[in-house]
Structure 1
Amino acid sequence: MSSILFFCVSFFASIAGAICGIGGGVIIKPVLDMLGLASVATISFLSGCTVLSMSCYTVGKNIVAGDNRVDFRTGTPLAIGAAVGGVVGKQLFSTIAGMFPNPNTVGVVQSICLAIITIGTFVYTLFKARIQGKHITNPEFCVIIGLVLGLMSSFLGIGGGPINLVVLFYFFSMETKTAAQNSLYIILFSQITSLLTTLITHSVPEFTLPALVLMIAGGIGGGIAGRTLNKRMSSRAVDKLFLVLMGIIILISIYNAVHYMGV
């Protein structure tokens, strides 16, 4: 039963992630935390693997199909920064987790941080039409922005999430669907380095093979479905779906923080 839940969560989260460019981890992580199917560290690891598989398929398929909207001049420095940030974020997670005897404490920290970030993202998205965006082109500044994105996404175990889109909207004035593709490109780099860091440092948490296989399958399957739906949806519809998802994630994150505090 739990394996089926792992698959369903990863599949539907990856559909939404591929459509909106949030990777899916921002949905997978809090939902699995709420269901209590594994430890915080295991869920972060499985979520990262799922997001990696989905973003790898989606980015690769867009390039092969000639439907690529990634601006490599800014996207690549952002991705490089996110890759470095992913390593730092992974170490930060391990450090904070080791500071507390109760493993659920880091779950509280993650849930509160995710709720705050998601609320900020929700508010920005509501009013983004009234906010004058920037047009950053400086590669060094792009690397710094990517570093922050990678650090936050890796520490929270969400792969990339909504903050990527806010940054792409504001600093680079990207249209919704273009931002979604660039976000997945950044997520791909940060998740590759995050996984490699976990393997090299021998810090892979305990997990069951069926859960990993089913979540990766769900990630790829969701990426296929999400990419198809994204092509058929308008930018306005994508924005509406994004706002609905952010509202749900805020509520789940608050619930998880309260739950972990009571454990």
Structure 2
Amino acid sequence: MIGLIYFLVIIFANALGAISGMGGGVIIKPIFDFVGAHSVAAISFYSSVAVFTMAIVSTLRQLKSGLRMDWKALGWISFGAVAGGFLGNIALDYFLTIFNEKKVNLIQIILTVLTLLFAFFYTKYDWKNFRLINISWYVVSGLVLGFLASLLGIGGGAINVSLLMLMFSMPIKEATVYSIGTIFFSQLAKILTIAGTTGFSRFDLTMLYFVVPAAVLGGLLGTNLSIIFSPKRVTTVFQGIIFLVLLINVYNAWQLFY
């Protein structure tokens, strides 16, 4: 039963995540927390696998559709994302050793809500954009995005798209594509970190039979819709997801105290 719930949630989340560039984890993580069937570490792992799979599917589909990317920019952002992904997973494991799971979950929720609020107000009120071109800024942006994605277990989240638009003046549809590319590398770093440290034996790997196929289906559905949607429609989806996830996270935080 839990596997079927995860399957349906991931299809829905990854479809919206591929359209908006958020990656799906921002929806998967709080809903899995709400279900409460697995530990914080396990939920973070399943979410990372789902988002990583979606990123592969989405990127290949976008390239097949004729999308052109600035590979140099993506390379430097992804380099920072890999480093950030390693650091984020180390930080998560550290928090799990000094705090109980309830406190770690609350930390994740608070940070997620803050990034969601930033993203919502940024796209809602059209704040000023910068046009940074130095390589170091690409690395710094990737480092921040990779760290938060891995620490929060949300894959990418709303901050990816907003930060790329803010720092590099990217249109929202272009920012979603680079966001997905960044998500791929940050989650690859997270999975490799787990493999090289604690290993996968502490997780119920049979759940991947539900997680991976659902991630592929959701990624394909979302990418196909993203290609045909207008920038205005993508922004509407983006803001709608933020509002939905804010409600879920606030409810989960309230539940932690009862």
RMSD of aligned alpha carbons: 1.3
Asked if 2 retains the 8 angstrom alpha-carbon contact of 1:14 and 1:226, the reply is yes
How far 1:205 sits from its partner (Å)? Answer: 6.4
Tell me whether 201-210 or 58-67 shows the greater mean CA deviation: 201-210
Q: Which sits farther off after the overlay, 20-29 or 252-261? A: 252-261
Question: Which residue is 1:180 aligned to?
Answer: 176
* 1:52 alignment counterpart: 52
Unaligned runs of 5+ in 1: none
24-33 vs 114-123, greater mean Cα deviation:
114-123
Partners of 2:29 and 2:201 lie apart in 1 by: 15
1:172-207 deviation digits (Å, cap 9, x = unpaired): 111111111000011111111110010011243633
The residue correspondences of 1:149-228 to structure 2 (distance < 5 A) are 149-204=145-200, 206-228=202-224
- Conserved 8 A contact 1:45-1:205: no
Paired with 1:143 and 1:17, the residues of 2 have a C-alpha distance of 23
| Structure 2: gaps of 5 or more residues | none
Give CA deviations for 1:129-175 in whole Å, capped at 9, x if unaligned. xx221111111121112111111111000111110111111111111
Count of matched residue pairs: 258
CA contact (8 A) 1:93 1:155 kept: yes
Q: Which residue of 2 aligns with 1:30?
A: 30
Q: 2: distance between equivalents of 1:119 and 1:231?
A: 26
Give the Cα–Cα distance (whole angstroms) in 2 for the partners of residues 241 and 148 of structure 1.
24
Partner in structure 2 of residue 111 of structure 1: 109
2:91 is equivalent to residue 92 of structure 1 = yes
Give the Cα–Cα distance (whole angstroms) in 2 for the partners of residues 241 and 247 of structure 1.
10
Secondary structure at 1:7's aligned position in 2?
helix
Query: Which digits, 9 at most, give the CA deviation of each residue in 1:62-104, with x for residues without a partner?
Result: 2234224x3223221111001100000000000011102x322
What is the letter of the counterpart of residue 254 of structure 1? V
What is aligned with 1:252?
248
What is the CA–CA distance in structure 2 between the aligned matches of 1:181 and 1:205, rounded to whole Å?
A: 33
Q: Distance in 2 between matches of 1:251 and 1:145?
A: 27
Specify the SS of the correspondent of 2:256.
helix
For 2:64 and 2:224, how far apart are their aligned partners in 1? Answer: 15
Contact 1:74 1:137 in 2 (8 A): no
Amino acid across the alignment from 1:9? V
Deviation at 1:46, TM superposition (A): 0.2
How far apart, CA to CA, are the structure 2 residues paired with 1:96 and 1:16? 30
In structure 2, what residue type is equivalent to 1:177?
Answer: K
CA deviations 1:217-262 (Å, max 9, x no partner) are 1111001111111122111011111111101111111111222233
**1:88 and 1:151 in contact (8 A); partners too:** yes
Give the TM-score normalised by structure 1: 0.94
Q: Does the aligned pair in 2 maintain the 1:51–1:219 contact within 8 Å?
A: yes
Deviates more, 1:40-49 or 1:113-122: 113-122
- Give the structure 1 partner of residue 79 of structure 2: 80
Q: Which amino acid letter does the alignment assign opposite residue 180 of structure 1? A: T
**SS of the residue aligned with 1:261?**
coil
